[in-house]
């Protein structure tokens, strides 16, 4: 049995997210499984490093799949890019150790969230940014971001229903930069709960707008209640940039 | 009568080009006239600096229109960006002298043509690049480009049927650069014939591929025959960058 690791990019605009759900074939995972199964002449199951929501993009998603068939990685790369839709591209294919698992062995992930902050719409990047022309204080957002770093129970910043699973995660970076008319959030952590990046960004934007104080962040953590955090920033601004593994 | 000058951007992917034709409402000019007419409560005619073909984009198209109604340019800017589709954006609106005409007074135009030259497809820029994974010699294309500079009869590089109008134009820049996996052509000249940029780029790509010699360019000019030049590079790689006027 061979184990293949792939890195891929996608424009998530027209998909119902990464994960196959019931009959929904319109997912990244579904498209990949369809083309991989055809390529290998057997039913292939793709494991992603994590789900991305409907409308979210990836510049460096990682997945793996196992197959009885030996096929050259370069040949797979060519086949996949020839038959996948034009909004999904495979960057690399390599043979991985049998025990490699893209989700279980991921040590950290990096996300980027882009806000186009101008009264003039951005026609070229519009699928990859959230457009909001209001005034935001970068300084206030940076101050609030500092309170989010480190190990916390992120329950308040997640849409997951209360469950027995731990909601403690470690956020190593949450950078807020203004680059011309763009506000760019870069997040890196050991794991992210459902909607966590989008709720963190939504909350920071409310701080930037002046509707919340940076100092209110510790209180939000303490409440362990989704209701007290900010809005869920829309999906199109979010891109999964990289997934890291122990070497 | 007031004369307004506007600068605008558009993603031309889903349009039948700039110019209204018969009943075709699906043009940039058509959309603009529709929204401007509604805004001003009178039939507005938009004059563009020039047509762009179906699928071609603009980062800095210029147009003008006249109106009896006095409306603040800032108000127009807000109105237009609120009501235009999300793939058309107005960058600026200003009152211009009565005699300003976006097409007749343009002194030069700048176009960019982008080729994505990699076996790995580009999912994020795919609407704005022509994807071709073959090997191209940048050096050969640069050599051929040098033969195109200056004043020439560009008849061979145009899809226009033979007519009495002059096909002599002056090309001031034709830069060919490789930037990572992208080959970028930047052209500036005092005017461009129908399909001229795309046929120039198509011909240079055939030189880059080794199917033509750079030294064959003067011969192509001499023939004054579209048949002897290269293919018409596809529209999606082309963007009208800027239009210049005498100040």
Question: What region, left, alpha or beta, does residue B223 occupy, with left being phi > 0 and alpha being psi -120 to 50 degrees?
Answer: alpha
Which two three-digit tokens encode residue B81? Answer: 């960006």
Residue B246 has pLDDT above 90, yes or no: no
The answer to whether the annotation marks B113 as part of a ligand binding site is: no
Let me know: does A221 contact A158? Beta carbons within 8 Å: no
Contact call for B123 and A9, based on CB within 8 A:
yes
Task: Please tell me whether residue A131 adopts helix, strand or coil conformation.
Answer: strand
Mean pLDDT of B127-143: 98
Chain A residues touching B59 at Cβ < 8 A: 124
Using a CB-CB distance cutoff of 8 angstroms, which residues of chain B are in contact with residue A128? 124
**What is the band of B238 on the pLDDT scale with cuts at 50, 70, 90?**
very high
CA–CA separation, B162 vs B147, rounded Å?
A: 23
A89, A120, A124 ranked by CB distance to B121: nearest? A89
Q: What is the mean pLDDT of each run of 10 residues along chain A (247 residues)?
A: 96 94 84 96 95 96 94 96 97 96 96 98 97 97 98 94 87 98 98 96 98 97 96 98 92
Give start and end residues of each alpha helix (H) in A13-169. Answer: 28-40, 73-83, 138-148
Check B120 against A10: CB less than 8 A apart.
Answer: no
CB B17 within 8 A of CB B52: yes
pLDDT, residue B244, reads 97
Q: From the list A59, A86, A123, which residue is nearest B88 (CB)?
A: A123
CA proximity to B183, closest of B174, B191, B192, B170: B174
Q: What is the DSSP letter of A162?
A: P
* CA–CA distance, B84 with A37 (Å, rounded to integer): 43
Q: Are A86 and B119 a contacting pair at CB < 8 A?
A: no
Q: Is the confidence at residue B160, as pLDDT, over 90?
A: no
Given B53, B132, B153, B181, the catalytic residue = B53
pLDDT at site A46: 96
Mutate which of B121, B240, B241 to disrupt the A interface (most A C-beta within 10 Å)?
A: B121
Q: What percent of chain B is predicted at pLDDT more than 70?
A: 98
Beta carbons of A119 and B59 less than 8 Å apart: no
Say if CB A44 and CB A71 are below 8 A apart.
no
Q: How far is B162 from chain A (nearest CA, A)?
A: 36
Give me the pLDDT at residue A163, please.
Answer: 75
Nearest CA in chain A to B122: A89
User: Which distant-in-sequence residues (6+ apart) come within 8 Å of A50 by Cβ?
Assistant: A18, A103, A106, A109, A192, A240, A243
Please, what is the Cα angle at A223 between A222 and A228, to 5 degrees? 125
Task: Answer yes or no: do B126 and A91 touch at CB < 8 A.
Answer: no
Which sequence positions of A are flagged as catalytic? 53
Domains (range + CATH), chain B: 2-96 (3.30.70.580), 108-245 (3.30.70.660)
Identify residues of A whose CB sits under 8 angstroms from chain B CBs: 9-11, 57, 59, 77-78, 81, 86-91, 119-124, 126, 128
CA-nearest of B77, B206, B122, B137 to A11 is B122
How much is the pLDDT for A22? 75
Interface contact A123-B87, CB threshold 8 A: yes
Task: Chain A: give the shortest CA distance to residue B90, in Å.
Answer: 7
How far, in Å, CA of B157 to CA of B197, rounded?
Answer: 8
CB pairs under 8 A between A and B: 54
| Chain A residues inside the 8 Å CB shell of B90 | 120
Is A86 close to B126, i.e. CB distance below 8 A?
yes
Provide the β-strand partners of residue A48. Answer: A63
Average pLDDT, chain B: 95
- Is B123 in contact with A77 (Cβ distance < 8 A)? no
Residue B22's SS3 state is: coil
Task: Choose among B81, B121, B122: nearest Cβ to A120.
Answer: B81
Confidence of residue B25 (pLDDT cuts 50, 70, 90): confident
Closest residue in chain A to residue B60, using alpha carbons only: A123
For chain B, give the percent of residues with pLDDT over 90: 92
Report the residue of chain B nearest A89, measured CA to CA.
B121
């Amino acid at each position: 049995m061979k184990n293949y690791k792939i890195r891929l990019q996608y424009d998530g605009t027209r998909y119902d997210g990464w994960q196959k759900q019931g009959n929904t074939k319109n997912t990244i995972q579904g498209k990949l499984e369809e083309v991989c199964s055809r390529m290998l002449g057997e039913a292939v199951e793709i494991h992603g490093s994590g789900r991305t929501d409907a409308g979210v993009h990836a510049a460096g998603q990682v997945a793996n799949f196992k197959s009885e068939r030996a096929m050259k990685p370069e040949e797979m790369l060519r086949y996949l890019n020839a038959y996948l839709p034009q909004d999904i591209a495979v960057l690399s294919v390599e043979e991985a150790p049998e025990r490699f698992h893209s989700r279980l062995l991921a040590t950290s992930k990096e996300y980027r969230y882009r806000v186009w902050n101008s009264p003039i719409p951005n026609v070229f990047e519009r699928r990859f940014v959230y457009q909001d022309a209001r005034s935001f204080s970068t300084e206030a957002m940076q101050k609030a971001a500092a309170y989010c770093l480190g190990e916390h129970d992120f329950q308040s910043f997640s849409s997951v229903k209360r469950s027995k699973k731990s909601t403690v995660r470690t956020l190593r970076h949450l950078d807020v930069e203004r680059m011309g008319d763009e506000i760019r959030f870069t997040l890196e952590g050991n794991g992210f709960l459902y909607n966590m990046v989008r709720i963190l960004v939504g909350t920071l934007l409310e701080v930037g707008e002046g509707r919340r104080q940076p100092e209110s962040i510790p209180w939000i953590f303490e409440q362990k209640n989704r209701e007290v955090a900010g809005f869920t920033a829309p999906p199109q601004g979010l891109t999964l940039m990289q997934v890291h593994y122990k070497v």
